[in-house]
Amino acid sequence: METLTAKPAITRDTKKLVAMQKIQSVALKAIHDFFEREGFLQLMPIMLSPITDPLGPDPGSSVLKTGEIEYLGQKLQLTQSMILHKQIAIGLGLEKFYIMSPNIRLEAAERRATGKHAFEFTQVDFEIKGATMSDVFKLVEGLLKAIVDDVKIRAVEELELLNREIPKWRFPFRQVTTHELEDQYGSDWESSASLDTDTPFWAICHDREFYDKKDYSREGEHFLNYDLIYPEGFGEALSGAEREHEYDRLMQRITEDKLDPKKYASYLALAKEDRLSPSAGGGLGVERLVRYLTGSKHVGDVQVFRRVPGETLLY
């Protein structure tokens, strides 16, 4: 019999791991209860597709490549996010839905140090036909309040075991533009601004992916998009936007981003036939949420199976 060379399991504090999974379970249940009350359908995720979110061009991105496999002669990409599919689903008649969507982003090894990057994680990815930014703000604030309220009531022992006290938040969350944040904290504003508060805040107006809608009512480069930032240094919780859906504007944005429109051919074909619609939505990272709720140092600490860039995987 051959000798097996794998190392034993990474030592985990079992009690803490179980407590974190309990807090996660309470949070997930609160999420499902909330979206059902709000009349959302739950759709199933997909992991392989001819198209996926390009995640850029973004000078802040360190994704090395898009995971890809070949199957029966087709090249299929691993889901980086389901944003394009959410827009297509709206085109297929689904007006208000969420998806528990695993995302794979093959980050550079140095992202290990940020504490908030895992190379696979799950987003609570939602989209609403005809919605605006302010609709999403109201929805997400209600969602986060429901989650935190449930966790504080249903996971008392677990929070105590983890020595975690979640601060009381003030509603509604503050809205700040990225221009203001840059003026106050510099271009790397996220962690400083996050450390500077004990209530989440909305960072609005980011110059990023082509599907985030430009504010055509204003001069200059303004965008109808938003990130939600956790307090206490935990950083980004959610990212979202109103969406571009018109063919000419999508083509212009894709061209400006120097992306290859052929890569989005089936999506653009729907836009050309006017089968996409205005919508807004976002994606809330489950593991980052649990990291915040449990006050954990690294997002990998809350994963039963750590998926941290640069770490060797045993299983």
User: Contacts with its own copies in 77-116 (CB under 8 A)?
Assistant: 78, 84-85, 88-89, 91-94, 97, 100, 102, 104, 106, 109
Task: Give min distance, CB of 108 to its own copies, in A.
Answer: 8
Which of 38, 46, 142, 236 touches its own copies (CB under 8 A)? Answer: 46
Q: In what order do the strands lie in the sheet with 48-49?
A: 48-49, 74-78, 68-71
CA dihedral 136, 138, 139, 141 (to 10 degrees): 110
Q: Kindly write down the DSSP assignment for every residue of 208-253, as one continuous string.
A: --TTBPB-TTSSSS-BSEEEEEETTTTEEEEEEEEB---HHHHHHH
CB of 170 to its own copies, least distance (A): 30
Give whichever of 52 and 178 is closer to its own copies, judged by the CB atom.
Answer: 52
Name the one residue in this structure whose structure tokens are 């120097």: 258
From the list 83, 58, 121, 54, the residue with the least C-alpha distance to 309 is: 121
- Candidate list 267, 280, 281, 299; residue touching its own copies; CB under 8 A: 267
User: Least CB distance from residue 183 to its own copies, whole Å?
Assistant: 37
Q: Is 303 in the site for its own copies (CB under 8 A)?
A: yes
From the list 159-167, 207-215, 216-224, 261-269, the region that binds its own copies by CB under 8 A is: 261-269
Q: Is 192 in the site for its own copies (CB under 8 A)?
A: no
Q: Which of 157, 221, 273, 274 binds its own copies (CB under 8 A)?
A: 273
Of these, 162, 237, 238, 286, which contacts its own copies (CB under 8 A)? Answer: 286
State how far the Cα of 32 lies from the Cα of 26, in Å rounded to an integer: 10
Kindly state whether residue 156 participates in binding its own copies, applying the rule CB under 8 A: no
Question: What part of residues 3-42 is at the interface with its own copies (CB under 8 A)?
Answer: 4-9, 12, 14-15, 17-18, 21-22, 24-25, 28-29, 32, 36, 40-42
Is-contact 304 21, C-beta < 8 A? yes
Residue 186 is given by DSSP the state: -
| Residues near its own copies (CB under 8 A), total | 84
Which residues make beta-bridge pairs with 284?
124, 238
* Pairwise CA distance, residues 41 & 52, whole Å: 22
Q: Does 55 bind its own copies (CB under 8 A)?
A: no
